[in-house]
Amino acid sequence: MYIEHDLEGRISKVDGIAYQIVLWLSKRFNFTFNLVEPPDRTFGAVVNNTWNGMIAMTINRNVDLVAGPVIPSEARAKVIDFSISFLDEPADCLIPAPTLDENKWNAVFKPFHYNVWLMVIVSLASVAVVSWMTMNLYWKWRYDGSASPGSPHFVLSFNQHVLSALALFCSQGQHTAARAPHSNRIAISSWCLMSTVLVYAYSSCIISYLTIPKSHLLVNSVEELANSQVLQVATHKNSFFEATLLQSSYGPLKLLGDSLRNNPENSFGGQYYNQTRLLNKVFGRLALITARLQLEMLIELHYRQTRRCELTFLPQQFMPILKTCLALPKGSPYIHLINLGITEIKQLGLVDRWIKVNINQTNQCKHGVDIFQHHSNSEIKHPLALSNLAGAFILLLLGVSVSISTFLCEVCVSKNRNQH
């Protein structure tokens, strides 16, 4: 019996499960086999109305069995036979792990979105204008337009109204007209209420931003991946996953398929079934779509190399659970024995054991997300560093610089007036 294999003489841990099955079957039913590599090093798909890869070798009876996780499809079922499923496995997408937000100089601005800050500025200016206009009009009406420089009409200038509104927002007391009109008091009271809400909300948020580490995924869904300007999609050439994307006619999967068509180098040939080579190719740049077991192996391999968890899975599941089988030529006389052997293997629980042997299930990356070690021990207190509070000191330095510059300008203007 000849067993087809496409890994350049290397058995990857993904195909290692299927290979373990073949080894067990060879001992159980006492047969020998040779490994045969497909010339084009691909799983097999229809290209120019002709099958290639392992599927073509099976159709042409160049091999008796495909020792790899073959996913049944309607097109494949017409030309080859499948064993019973030996593993139900989801498709998944490998992406860079969440990046830690270090809360540097711009942390003081992060509690509010930019549109909130914009509305605060607009509200502050609006309150100052309304307050100045209502008080100005009130005293003009009160004195019939005959206000003199000593009248209350000149108690607060427009600039003083702006500073008063800003002081209320910063929870600082400031002098206001004791006999302000009711319309002015309503505007100021509304501003005080809004300022109180905003100040307390800001205080609570900035505490969490400065004390709790934040992490953000580059993409959280298939839609975000399809529209991402950072990550491109990748998969194995002529695989079930590539065919699914390329044949999709609508939605985000069509956009991912278009990305593959526009970037054919992201469809990896057989040379990238080597785990290390594949990892070096996709790390940090590509979102790899394939069976979850292989992706778990890539995460494990990267962790062993770096002792860091920098890879994870796309949170959204976008393909159904896939049944992986062994493939045989149509009408193969061996299919009964293969199915009998796989049934015994499943009853003995050997597939789960082989998976545990091939993939370490106890490392820190088993959930795909890095638990940042320097924050993981809750008993250790981590005082805020200068990088966390740099924004506050920058604002203070800016305020002091503006104040000194204004003072020097006032001194120069005052000297010029005295000279004249």
What was the pLDDT predicted at 379? 46
Q: Final residue of a domain: which of 197, 213, 229?
A: 213
* Tokens (6 digits) for 318: 């976008």
Calpha distance 269→45 (Å, rounded): 12
Question: Is residue 406 a part of any domain in this protein?
Answer: yes
Q: Could you read off the pLDDT of 76-111 as tens digits, one per residue?
A: 999 999 999 998 888 899 998 876 665 566 677 777
- pLDDT-derived band at 3 (thresholds 50, 70, 90) equals very low
Crossing angle, helix 182-211 and helix 158-169, to 10 degrees?
40
Last residue in a domain, options 213, 241, 258? 213
**Is 228 contained in some domain?**
no
149 belongs to a structural domain: yes
The residues that bridge with 215 in the sheet, in sequence order, are 100
Top-ranked range on mean pLDDT: pick from 1-15, 57-71, 270-284: 57-71
Q: Which residue has the higher pLDDT, 65 or 10?
A: 65
Q: What is the mean pLDDT of the chain?
A: 77
Q: Which amino acid type is present at position 366?
A: K
Instruction: Return the higher-pLDDT residue of 213 and 240.
Output: 240
Last residue of a domain, one of 180, 213, 246: 213
Q: Is residue 161 part of a domain?
A: yes
Q: Which of 128, 127, 122, 131 is nearest to 183 (CA)?
A: 131
Rg (CA), the chain: 35
Residue 351 one-letter amino acid: V
Give me the number of domains the chain comprises: 2
In a domain, 156, yes or no: yes
Distance from C-alpha of 126 to C-alpha of 133, rounded to nearest angstrom: 10
**Domain range enclosing 404:** 388-420
Residue 221 lies in a domain: no
Residue 157 counted as domain residue: yes
- Give dist(CA 279, CA 302) in Å, integer: 8
pLDDT tens-digit readout, 129-145:
877 777 777 667 666 55
In a domain, 14, yes or no: no
